[in-house]
C-alpha cells in the first residue's frame, strides 16, 4: 500500500480551517513546531464556535451565573438547573448546531436536539418541552429552503420520537 502524502499547511489552508493568524501562532507555541495537516484539523474543530464557543464565550460570560435559586450553572454540569420551589427544578440546555446543520441539515439538527435531550436526562430530569429558535436567510433562496426543510425535519423526528 502506498503511503499518502501529507498536505502542506499553508496560510490559505489555515484560513480555510477557520483559524486566524493569532490562533495559528498559538498552535505553534503549544506544539513547539508547525502543525501537520491532521493536527491543524484537530485544533480547527476543537477551537471552532461549535465546540468552544470561541466567538460568543465573551458574551455568554456577561450573563448572570449566581443566585440563590441556581442549582447548577453554565459549565458546571451537563445542563443548567434552577430551583422553582416545592422540591422542583427547571433544567435547561442551549445548544447551537449551526455548522453541522449547514453541512447536513437533517442529521445536524437531529444530533443537536439529541445532545440537548441527553444532557437533560443526565441531570435526572425529563423533558416536557423543547424550543428551537431558528434563523435562516431569505425563504426565496433555494439553499435556504433546503436547509429549513432538513433542519425542521431533523428536530421534529428526533425530538418527537
Which residues participate in catalysis according to the annotation?
50, 97
* Pairing status of strand 70-72 against strand 88-92: unpaired
Rounded CA gap, 77 and 2, in Å?
46
> Taking the chain, what is the end-to-end CA distance rounded to the nearest angstrom?
45
For 10, counting Cβ atoms within 10 Å of its Cβ (0-12 exposed, 13-18 middle, 19+ buried), the class is exposed
| Greatest distance between any 2 Cα atoms in the chain | 67
Amino acid at each position: 500500500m502506498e503511503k499518502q502524502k501529507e498536505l502542506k499547511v499553508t496560510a490559505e489552508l489555515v484560513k480555510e480551517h477557520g483559524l486566524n493568524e493569532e490562533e495559528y501562532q498559538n498552535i505553534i507555541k503549544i506544539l513547539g513546531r508547525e502543525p501537520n495537516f491532521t493536527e491543524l484539523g484537530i485544533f480547527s474543530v476543537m477551537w471552532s464556535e461549535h465546540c468552544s464557543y470561541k466567538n460568543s464565550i465573551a458574551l455568554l460570560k456577561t450573563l448572570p451565573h449566581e443566585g440563590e435559586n441556581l442549582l447548577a450553572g453554565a459549565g458546571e454540569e451537563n445542563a443548567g438547573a434552577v430551583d422553582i420551589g416545592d422540591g422542583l427544578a427547571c433544567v435547561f440546555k442551549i445548544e447551537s448546531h449551526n455548522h453541522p446543520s449547514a453541512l447536513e441539515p437533517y442529521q445536524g439538527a437531529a444530533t443537536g436536539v439529541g445532545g440537548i435531550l441527553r444532557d437533560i436526562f443526565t441531570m435526572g430530569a425529563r423533558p416536557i418541552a423543547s424550543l428551537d429558535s431558528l434563523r435562516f436567510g431569505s425563504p426565496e433562496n433555494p439553499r435556504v429552503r433546503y436547509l429549513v426543510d432538513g433542519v425542521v425535519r431533523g428536530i421534529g423526528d428526533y425530538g418527537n420520537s
